[in-house]
Amino acid sequence: MSNIKACIFDLDGVIVDTAVYHYKAWKRLANELGFDFTEEDNEKLKGVSRVRSLQLILQWGGVTKTEAEQEELATTKNDWYVEMISHMTPAEILPGAKEFLLACRAAEIKTALGSASKNSMTILDKINLTPLFDTIVDGNMVSKPKPDPEVFLKGAELLNVAASDCVVFEDAIAGVEAAINGRMKVVGIGSPQVLINADLVVNGLNEMTLEKLKNL
C-alpha cells in the first residue's frame, strides 16, 4: 500500500482527446507543403513538443526548412489548431476524467496538470475543468520536453508534495518515461503492450479507482 498525496495528469489523451485536432492541423500543413501525413504518423507525435513534431513531419516529407521558416510553419499550424479548439465543449472530456478528479479531491488527494501543450489553459477553460486542478504546469512553464521529468517535478513542487508520493497519468511513452525519470509512480492510459514501463495500464480514467491508486 502506498501513501499517494497527489495525482498529476497529462492533458492530451488523458483528460481530453485533442489528437484529432493536432492531426487535422498537421495534415493540412503537410498537404500544403506537398506531401501526405497519415493517422499512423500522428500516433508518433503523442506527447512530442510542437517544434519537435514539425521537425519530424518535415523529415518524413523529405522537406528542409530554415529555422525561421520552421517557426512560421509551427505558428501557422498552431493558429489552425487554436481555431479548432476554440469550439471545444465539456462534452469532449474523456469518460471518467471529471469523476476521477472529483474523487481525488474528495479524498484530499491533490491534483495537478502536467502537459507539454502551450494551449492547456485554453482547453481547460473550454471544458470547464480549470477549477478541479490545484496547480497547472503547461508548455509555457517548462524548457525541457518529456521524457525529461521537469513538467511533473514542477507540479510536485508547486503542490508541495514529494515526488515519491505522486502518481502520474500518461498516454504517451515519452510521458511514462518522464514520470519514471522523476521517480514517480505512473499509470498508463492506453495499451499495456505500448506503455510497457507503467506501473499499471488502464483504458481510460473511467477504469481508475481510489482503490487501484492505493494499491500502486
Closest approach of ligand BG6 to the CB of residue 160, in Å: 25
Q: Is 199 a catalytic residue?
A: no
Q: Is 41 a catalytic residue?
A: no
**100 Cα distance to chain centroid:** 17
Number of residues that bind ligand BG6 (CB under 6 A): 17
Cα distances (angstroms) measured from residue 94 to each of 122, 136, 211: 17, 19, 21
Indicate which single residue of 7, 8, 119, 190 sits in contact with ligand BG6 (rule: CB under 6 A): 119
**To the nearest 10°, the Cα dihedral for 216, 45, 114, 175?**
30
Is residue 49 at the binding interface for ligand BG6, with CB under 6 A as the rule?
Answer: yes
Look at residue 117 and give the partner it binds from ligand BG6, Mg ion, none, a contact being a CB closer than 5 to 8 Å depending on partner kind. Answer: ligand BG6
Look at residue 183 and give the partner it binds from Mg ion, ligand BG6, none, a contact being a CB closer than 5 to 8 Å depending on partner kind. Answer: none
Q: How many helices (H) and strands (E) does the chain have?
A: 9, 6
Residue that the C-alpha cell 485533442 belongs to? 18
Q: Nearer to ligand BG6 by C-beta: 139 or 164?
A: 139
List alpha helices for 86-181, DSSP H: 97-106, 120-126, 150-159, 173-181
Restricted to residues 77-96, the positions that interact with ligand BG6 (CB under 6 A) are 78
For residues 130 and 113, what is the distance between their CA atoms, to the nearest angstrom?
9
Active site residues: 10, 12
Give residues in contact with ligand BG6 (CB under 6 A): 11-12, 22, 45-50, 53, 78, 115-119, 139
Give residues in contact with Mg ion (CB under 5 A): 10, 12-13, 47, 171-172
